[in-house]
Amino acid sequence: MWVRWWPLGRRAESEMVFRVCAAENDGVDQLVRSPLSQAPAPVSEVEGGNKPLMGIKKETQAVLTYIKQSPKKVNLVAELVRGMRVDDALMQMAVSTKRAAKVVAKVVTSARANAIHNFGMDKDRLIVAEAFVGKDKYLKRLRIHGKGKAGQMVRPRCRLTVVVKELSAEKEAELARVRLHKYHSKKIRGNITKLMPHRVLATQWQWSRKPRKGSVSISSE
């Protein structure tokens, strides 16, 4: 009995199938799976039908590259959503007047979709664990100066990474208790400071909301 390899196409090569030529079978070739090939893993069934179970994972991320803004400007907006709940972060980006707010909201929405669809996380327990900005490929362009001279200018590009994490039931209960009773113990507050969502900031200036001198303020009593 001897073994001979045959080119059987992409499908056979991916499955590492080879032919076994046996003299006792009147020269008829038989297909036998290679012992080096891995058996296909069973597909886990999850309620809902189209949500495969890909292991226990409590966090996921989304990355957006080649953003046409400087890392400093995008980071000013990204730091607002760190530690916030996903719903609160999207609300904050909706009321923000910064140009990078749409980019941050887009990446947060993508990270939430990855967590819900790919890993079956609870959308009500998702928080923005990390939101950091890095430099991407900078473009160098020509800057014209006077007297026949020229210089070089740089068009910055950056990349944004948002990591969302699912809170456990214990941390969710502890966070709800702190919100309800407004317990300000340093020991407990130090452990959950990063889990507390920030207040949604106002987009107007402080002095623009004050009445002018000589104006009459009407109060409903």
Partnered with residue 59 across adjacent β-strands are 165
125 in a structural domain: yes
Residues 87 and 126 in one domain: yes
Task: State mean pLDDT over 50-72.
Answer: 78
Encoded amino acid at 212, one letter: R
Written as six digits, the tokens of 188 are 């407990």
What is the Cα–Cα distance from 150 to 152, expressed in whole angstroms? 7
Helix (H, G, I), strand (E, B) or coil at 171: helix
**Whole-model pTM over 0.95:** no
Residues 81 and 23 in one domain: no
Residues 28 and 64 in one domain: no
CATH number of residue 90's parent domain = 3.90.470.10
pLDDT at 82 over 70: yes
What is the Cα–Cα distance from 52 to 46, expressed in whole angstroms? 6
- pLDDT value at residue 168: 84
Residues 10 and 85 in one domain: no
Residues 152 and 68 in one domain: yes
Total number of domains in the chain: 2
Residues 27 and 102 in one domain: no
Least confident piece of the model among 77-86, 87-96, 156-165, 202-211 = 202-211
- pLDDT value at residue 14: 43
The DSSP 8-state label assigned to residue 36 in this structure reads: T
pLDDT tens-digit series, residues 186-221:
444 455 455 444 444 444 444 444 554 554 444 444
CB 56, CB 46: distance < 8 Å: no
Residues 75 and 152 in one domain: yes
pLDDT tens-digit series, residues 11-59:
444 444 444 454 455 555 565 666 665 555 544 444 444 444 444 568 8
116 in a structural domain: yes
pLDDT band at 110 (very low <50, low <70, confident <90, very high): very high
Among residues 203, 167, 166, which one has the least CA distance to residue 92?
203
Residues 7 and 102 in one domain: no
Least confident piece of the model among 29-33, 46-50, 63-67, 126-130 = 46-50
For the chain, the farthest-separated pair of C-alpha atoms sits apart, in whole angstroms, at 110
Residues 162 and 63 in one domain: yes
Where does residue 93 rank: exposed (0-12), middle (13-18), buried (19+ CB within 10 A)? Answer: buried
208 in a structural domain: no
Residues 122 and 25 in one domain: no
- pLDDT value at residue 163: 94
Residues 157 and 75 in one domain: yes
Residues 71 and 107 in one domain: yes
What is the Cα–Cα distance from 182 to 170, expressed in whole angstroms? 18
CB 175, CB 167: distance < 8 Å: yes
95 in a structural domain: yes
Report the chain's mean pLDDT, rounded to a whole number. 73
68 in a structural domain: yes
**Residue with token string 């045959």:** 6
205 in a structural domain: no
pLDDT at 60 over 80: yes
What is the Cα–Cα distance from 221 to 216, expressed in whole angstroms? 15
pLDDT at 98 over 50: yes
Which residues form the domain of 151?
59-167
pLDDT tens-digit series, residues 135-178:
999 999 999 999 999 999 999 999 999 999 998 888 878 777 77
211 in a structural domain: no
196 in a structural domain: no
